[in-house]
């Protein structure tokens, strides 16, 4: 039987203050944050063990190559810290390899990408590299893309020489006792740009395509070979410290499959990316944000079997979500109706001071103008104030959505929009979640995975402005509830909610609270039960909704920017 093909375990150091802020960190030896250390301690036992039950068995690693930077060395220490002393004694000595250091950023050391591009528009590290620091060229040299390619290739060449000797049965020629005894698995502990370059070159791709691979702080990539051939290098999996595996491929040599990540990890990963890689931007509220544009992939949540994707890493104000949604469905625009029911999420935008700042001081307090509910139920009607009767006026988009789902379910125009350019100046706040489309999967012999035999309803929502700390958890729950409600009154089963984003951002004063949330492990999503049969979308009452099994982590306070 042919021996298993050897692997490379490619790890990136854990979180640092500069990885959070997005500052380029080459030769500056920034330590791991406390959170970064805690994450590595929690992560290590899930993929490193000496009993063959996890993805990485240190006893089978013949060489450990580590960057000279302390942040990488400390990460390696933490990855092995849960092992017993006897187990640690079986690990090969660590080799500090200068070629495994991070890209030398030179003059750009400590700067963020947008700061560099302010001085050098269009700068692209993958093609232009970095210049020397003019004041400290010896201490902070830059590095071209060609130079980076050369040193990454040297590391790969060394590894391939070792691994080929194992497979070809020529280990004796290496005079390498560790390889002879342990096989050819190699661990490399390095940095973000280095690892992305390494993956590209491992696959025999140009360095520029390293931009396609993301290995976040504390993440691990498993690289190997397909079909038992050194001519077919491949990626077995990229594993995030925040979201779990990014590939469904089975990791060669692993003793068990990696458990699929909880859907909430999608949200947590996006928050982490915004904090670490987001562009620092001013905003309307004056708070400032860390922003990503059109982040991919979109967030997707299963709604099957009554599942309600109510985030569990903090308590979401479910009653507020429900009251606001029923307020939307009723076509209301008076925030005082919510205030009277103990829901204060619109108080700031409905205050007299805020309305005056928007040029709407002629309105009474609480009159938000033709916002969400008005557009859903009276699109195109002339808005006067929140107390007027708009019955029969404008286009009732929600009613049309329901009618099409019932009578023309394959229609590609089952759409509802809250974005009405004509009415934007009259709104206290233009809609953030602005557009949704519904899709009905019809039950057939080949396409239907629910047990009821009913059609399945999915919703795709686009949100132009996404407050990741406060707004998005609310919006996920709200559109999930809306999809369940529409499915209920149309005789469908709710299937899936997908959320696509434009400007996804973390407010600067939410960073620290969100870091707390990122340390928490998601729990099972709750289930939604309707306590009675409702046939009319306008017939729902708060007491009709029963949410079962919601046991989240404690509430995390965050200030709303108005």
Q: Is the pLDDT of residue 249 over 50?
A: no
Query: Same structural domain for residues 257 and 361?
Result: no
- Tell whether 160 is covered by a domain: yes
pLDDT of residue 2: 55
Query: Same structural domain for residues 248 and 351?
Result: no
Q: Is the pLDDT of residue 253 over 60?
A: no
- Domain with 449, as residue range(s), is 291-333+369-378+391-504+517-548
How far, in Å, CA of 130 to CA of 414, rounded?
A: 50
| Paired tokens of 111 | 């700067």
Cβ contacts of 494 within 8 Å, gap of 6 or more: 303, 304, 306, 456, 457, 480, 483, 484, 487
User: Treating both helix axes as pointing N-terminal to C-terminal, what angle do 471-490 and 318-329 enclose, rounded to 10 degrees?
Assistant: 60
- Tell whether 111 is covered by a domain: no
* Averaged pLDDT of the chain: 90
The CATH number assigned to the domain holding 38 equals: 3.40.50.1240
How far, in Å, CA of 473 to CA of 552, rounded?
A: 13
User: By the 8 A CB rule, do 428 and 354 touch?
Assistant: yes
Query: Same structural domain for residues 460 and 534?
Result: yes
How far, in Å, CA of 6 to CA of 313, rounded?
A: 38
- Tell whether 185 is covered by a domain: yes
pLDDT band at 21 (very low <50, low <70, confident <90, very high): confident
Q: Annotated binding residues, as ranges?
A: 25-26, 71, 102-105
Residue 243's nearest CA partner among 257, 229, 223, 263 is: 263
In the DSSP assignment, the letter for residue 559 is P
pLDDT of residue 180: 64
Beta strands 456-467 and 493-507, pairing class: parallel
pLDDT of residue 276: 79
The CATH number assigned to the domain holding 487 equals: 3.30.572.10
Q: Is the pLDDT of residue 537 over 80?
A: yes
pTM of the predicted protein model: 0.60
Q: For 448-507, how does the pLDDT look when each residue is reduced to its tens digit (9 = 90+)?
A: 456 678 999 999 999 999 999 999 999 999 999 999 999 999 999 999 999 999 999 999
Query: Same structural domain for residues 414 and 345?
Result: no
Domain tally, the chain: 3
How far, in Å, CA of 320 to CA of 343, rounded?
A: 6
Query: Same structural domain for residues 229 and 341?
Result: no
Q: How many residues does the chain have?
A: 562
Instruction: Count Cβ atoms below 10 Å from residue 229 Cβ, excluding itself.
Output: 11
pLDDT of residue 251: 30
pLDDT band at 129 (very low <50, low <70, confident <90, very high): very high
pLDDT band at 255 (very low <50, low <70, confident <90, very high): very low
User: By the 8 A CB rule, do 10 and 51 touch?
Assistant: no
**Of 261, 276, 303, which one is at a domain's C-terminal end?**
261
Rg (CA), the chain: 27
- Tell whether 137 is covered by a domain: no
Burial of 88 from C-beta contacts in 10 A (0-12 / 13-18 / 19+): middle
Mean pLDDT for 382-400 is: 97
- Position of tokens 């012999």? 445
Containing 224, the helix (H) or strand (E) segment is strand 220-225
- Residue 48 gets the label, from left (phi > 0), alpha (psi -120 to 50) or beta, of beta
pLDDT of residue 335: 97
Query: Same structural domain for residues 345 and 309?
Result: no
- Position of tokens 């706040």? 429
Query: Same structural domain for residues 410 and 472?
Result: yes
Query: Same structural domain for residues 450 and 542?
Result: yes
Mean pLDDT for 532-542 is: 97
pLDDT band at 408 (very low <50, low <70, confident <90, very high): very high
Q: For 193-245, how does the pLDDT look when each residue is reduced to its tens digit (9 = 90+)?
A: 999 999 999 999 999 999 888 888 999 999 999 888 888 999 988 887 764 44
User: Treating both helix axes as pointing N-terminal to C-terminal, what angle do 397-407 and 471-490 enclose, rounded to 10 degrees?
Assistant: 50
pLDDT band at 179 (very low <50, low <70, confident <90, very high): low
| Paired tokens of 439 | 């899709």
pLDDT of residue 174: 65
Residue with the bigger pLDDT between 156 and 261: it is: 156
| HSE-up of residue 381 (Cα within 13 Å, Cβ side) | 26
How far, in Å, CA of 362 to CA of 125, rounded?
A: 53
Mean pLDDT for 151-176 is: 83
Query: Same structural domain for residues 407 and 481?
Result: yes
| Active site amino acids | 13, 102, 432
Q: What is the 3-state secondary structure (H, E, C) of 354-423?
A: HHHHCCCCCCCCCECCCCHHHHHHHECCCCCCCCCCCCCCCECHHHHHHHHHHHCCCCCCCEEECCCHHH
- Tell whether 384 is covered by a domain: no
- Tell whether 136 is covered by a domain: no
In the DSSP assignment, the letter for residue 304 is G
Q: Is the pLDDT of residue 60 over 50?
A: yes
| Paired tokens of 130 | 């970095």
How far, in Å, CA of 186 to CA of 188, rounded?
A: 7
pLDDT of residue 3: 63
How far, in Å, CA of 526 to CA of 476, rounded?
A: 14
Query: Same structural domain for residues 411 and 439?
Result: yes
Q: For 271-295, how does the pLDDT look when each residue is reduced to its tens digit (9 = 90+)?
A: 988 887 889 888 888 888 999 999 9
Count Cβ neighbours within 10 Å for each residue of 255-273 and write b for 16 or more, e otherwise.
Answer: eeebeebbbbbbbbbbbbb
Residue with the bigger pLDDT between 449 and 529: it is: 529
**Of 243, 261, 279, which one is at a domain's C-terminal end?**
261
pLDDT band at 447 (very low <50, low <70, confident <90, very high): very low
Query: Same structural domain for residues 251 and 346?
Result: no
The CA–CA distances, whole Å, from 520 to 57, 240, 299, 525, 562 equal 27, 15, 19, 14, 28
- Tell whether 422 is covered by a domain: yes
Q: For 312-325, how does the pLDDT look when each residue is reduced to its tens digit (9 = 90+)?
A: 999 999 999 999 99
pLDDT of residue 175: 60
pLDDT of residue 453: 87
- Tell whether 269 is covered by a domain: no
The share of the chain scoring above pLDDT 70, in percent, equals 93
Query: Same structural domain for residues 344 and 404?
Result: no
Please name the residue ranges forming H helices in 2-66: 17-21, 34-47
pLDDT band at 252 (very low <50, low <70, confident <90, very high): very low
Q: Is the pLDDT of residue 413 over 90?
A: yes
Q: For 63-106, how does the pLDDT look when each residue is reduced to its tens digit (9 = 90+)?
A: 999 999 999 999 999 999 999 999 999 899 999 999 999 999 99
Count Cβ neighbours within 10 Å for each residue of 285-295 and write b for 16 or more, e otherwise.
Answer: eebbbbbbeeb
């Amino acid at each position: 039987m042919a021996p298993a093909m050897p692997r490379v375990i490619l790890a990136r150091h854990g979180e640092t203050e500069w990885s959070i802020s997005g500052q380029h960190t080459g030769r500056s030896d920034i330590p791991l944050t406390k959170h970064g250390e805690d994450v590595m301690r929690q992560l290590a036992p899930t993929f490193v063990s000496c009993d063959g039950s996890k993805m990485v068995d240190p006893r089978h690693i013949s060489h450990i190559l580590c960057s000279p930077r302390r942040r990488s060395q400390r990460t390696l220490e933490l990855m092995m810290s849960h092992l017993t002393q006897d187990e640690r004694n079986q690990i090969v000595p660590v080799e500090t390899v200068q070629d495994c250091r991070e890209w030398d950023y030179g003059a750009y050391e400590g700067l963020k990408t947008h700061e560099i591009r302010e001085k050098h528009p269009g700068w692209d590290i993958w093609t232009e590299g970095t210049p020397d620091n003019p004041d400290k060229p010896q201490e902070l040299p830059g590095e071209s893309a060609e130079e980076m390619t050369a040193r990454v290739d040297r590391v790969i060449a060394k590894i391939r020489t070792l691994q080929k000797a194992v497979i070809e049965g020529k280990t004796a020629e290496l005079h390498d006792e560790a390889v002879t005894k342990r096989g050819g698995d190699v661990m490399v502990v390095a940095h973000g740009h280095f690892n992305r370059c390494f993956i590209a070159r491992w696959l025999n791709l140009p360095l520029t395509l390293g931009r396609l691979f993301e290995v976040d702080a504390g993440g691990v990539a498993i690289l190997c070979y397909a079909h038992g051939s050194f001519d077919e290098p491949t990626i077995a999996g990229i594993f995030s410290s925040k979201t779990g595996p990014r590939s469904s491929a089975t990791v060669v040599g692993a003793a068990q499959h990696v458990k699929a990540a909880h859907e909430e990890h999608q949200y947590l990963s996006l928050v982490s990316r915004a904090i670490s890689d987001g562009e620092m931007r001013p905003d309307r509220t004056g708070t400032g944000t860390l922003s990503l544009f059109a982040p991919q992939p979109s967030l997707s949540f299963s709604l099957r079997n009554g599942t309600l994707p109510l985030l569990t890493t903090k308590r979401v104000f479910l009653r507020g979500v429900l009251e606001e949604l029923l307020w939307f469905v009723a076509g209301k625009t008076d925030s005082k109706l919510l205030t009277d029911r103990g829901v204060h999420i619109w108080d700031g935008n409905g205050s007299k001071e805020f309305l005056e700042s928007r040029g709407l001081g002629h309105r009474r307090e609480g009159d938000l103008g033709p916002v969400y509910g008005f557009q859903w139920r009276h699109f195109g009607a002339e808005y006067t104030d929140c107390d007027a009767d708009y019955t029969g006026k404008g286009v009732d988009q929600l009613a049309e959505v329901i009618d099409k789902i019932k009578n023309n379910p394959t229609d590609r125009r089952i759409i509802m929009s809250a974005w009405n350019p004509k009415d934007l100046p009259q709104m206290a706040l233009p809609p953030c979640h602005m557009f949704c489309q519904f899709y009905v999967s019809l039950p057939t012999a080949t396409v239907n995975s629910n047990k009821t035999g009913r059609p399945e309803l999915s919703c795709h929502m686009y949100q132009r402005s996404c407050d990741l700390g406060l707004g998005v958890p609310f919006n996920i729950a709200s559109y999930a509830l809306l999809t369940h409600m529409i499915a209920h009154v149309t005789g469908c089963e709710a299937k899936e909610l997908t959320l696509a984003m434009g400007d996804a951002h973390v407010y600067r004063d939410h960073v620290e609270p969100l870091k707390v949330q990122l340390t928490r492990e998601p729990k099972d999503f709750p289930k939604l039960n309707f306590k009675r049969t409702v046939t009319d979308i306008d017939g729902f009452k708060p007491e009709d909704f029963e949410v079962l099994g919601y046991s989240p982590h404690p509430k995390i306070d965050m200030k709303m920017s108005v």
